[in-house]
Amino acid sequence: MTDNTAISRETLESMLKAINMGVLLIDREYRVLFSNHFMSLNSGRPADALAGHTLFDAFPELPEIWVRQKINSVFTLKNFAFTSWQQRPHLFNFASTRPISGSVKHMYQNCTFFPVQDAEGECLGVGLAVSDATDTAARQLELTRLNELLEAEKSAQASLIQRLEEAQAQLLQSEKMAAIGQLAAGVAHEINNPIGFVSSNLNSLRSYLKDLFSLIDAYEGVCDGEYLRVNPDIEVLRKKIDYGFLRQDISELLVESADGLDRVNRIVKDLREFSHVDSCEWQLADLHKGLDSTLNVIWNEIKFKAQVIKYYGDIEPIECMGSQINQVFMNLIINASHAVGANGEIIITTGLEGEGVSIDIADNGHGVPLEIQNRIFEPFFTTKPVGMGSGLGLSLSYSIVVKHHGRLTVDSLPGKGTCFRVWLPLRQPPPPPASEGDSS
């Protein structure tokens, strides 16, 4: 039996020495007890020269603090630990195994730290298994390089598209609104579905976490001091994961996530309204009632920022889609409230003008710089800080007014204020007659 054991041990050592990966055995003082041929071949030092030396004397290039922590954790927890080439590509300073291509100078490595135990489960040492990941890394790095080239090409294409869009700036704004409206409708539809199930899942997660915390509280309620004294690992784990902070932070993360979903929902709603995907009917509407109801809806937004002054003229109901015109009023009034200072004024004036009515929404704010006045109706263009506006308000308003065969113009002087004028016809023109080809 002794001979068989000796032969088995010798056979095992022979296999470990010949295997095509690095194998080291380290004791609690970080001394090298065993190393195989792979380590000797790549380090240039025979196994006898490595044995007895500390791991960090034998391989000074190792990040000592980090490796000590890895080895200590394996001794303590008796669990495996890993590092991949993406995290620490050159753990050991070995030459590349692809010398012909010359594209990689050092060996990329994956390393596994594992406990070596006796029959009773006592940890005798920690083993290190070092595998050569150079081929995989080289392929991945090449893919990364190609992706960077593709991104550069994509950026160049985006720049070209931008120049083409600028060259087409002379096209009628209504045509651009129609094209972007189709895009917005598709985007809004595609975004709306995942937002729905993400929101539902978030609500479910909040409920599940509440139940889990209730269960944990119940367990803690029945665990007396004697139980914790006999099982100290529980308190060690609790402190290690910082349970109190984790519990509090989870609630805050859920609140922030819900707020983020609400913001996305608001943007999607703007997109849907911008592209007119919601159904509306043409009907006679009292614009004064529309203005008043809009002011009521957004009063909390403006009451602490500006005084609203109304000069309503003698106008008659017009043919329009009332909810969409109210959306225009809301966007223009909110923009005015954002532009004014501490003593802000928003002046709303209505009156008859030709075969239609005009609505002026003016403010005494900072005005619009001359160089961007021709861009303010572009979708997604905004001068507000990131997170304060989607850049769809004015473009949506412009699209709605054009759809009503009206006009939306701006008159602004920097430092003096801004006036947006909406002109809408009293009645919509009749639709064009259907062609004979449409009769089928």
Q: What residue type is assigned to position 374 of the chain?
A: N
Q: What residue type is assigned to position 208 of the chain?
A: Y
CA angle 394, 398, 399 (to 5 degrees): 120
- 142: pLDDT strictly greater than 80: yes
Model pLDDT for residues 60-70, shown as the tens digit of each residue? 999 999 999 99
Is residue 43 within 8 A of residue 59, CB to CB? The reply is: yes
Q: Compare 304 and 25 and report the one with higher pLDDT.
A: 25
- 310: pLDDT strictly greater than 60: yes
**How confident is the model at residue 15, as a pLDDT?**
83
Is residue 287 within 8 A of residue 358, CB to CB? The reply is: no
**How confident is the model at residue 383, as a pLDDT?**
58
Q: What whole-number percentage of the chain has pLDDT above 90? A: 26
Q: What whole-number percentage of the chain has pLDDT above 70? A: 80
174 pLDDT tier (thresholds 50, 70, 90): very low
- 230: pLDDT strictly greater than 80: no
pTM: 0.39
The CA distance from 312 to 292, in Å, is 11
Model pLDDT for residues 328-347, shown as the tens digit of each residue? 898 899 888 888 877 789 99
- 176: pLDDT strictly greater than 60: no
- 438: pLDDT strictly greater than 80: no
**210-236 burial by CB neighbour count: b if 16+ within 10 A, else e?**
eeeeeeeeeeeeeeeeeeeeeeeeeee
Model pLDDT for residues 369-386, shown as the tens digit of each residue? 776 666 677 766 565 554
The number of residues in the chain equals 440
435 pLDDT tier (thresholds 50, 70, 90): low
Q: Cα 279 to the chain's mean position, in Å?
A: 32
Ranges 8-12, 151-155, 212-216, 417-421: which has the least confidence? 8-12
Ranges 88-97, 132-141, 227-236, 382-391: which has the least confidence? 382-391
Cα–Cα distance list, 328 to 146, 176, 179, 190, 382 (Å): 47, 18, 20, 25, 17
**How confident is the model at residue 237, as a pLDDT?**
83
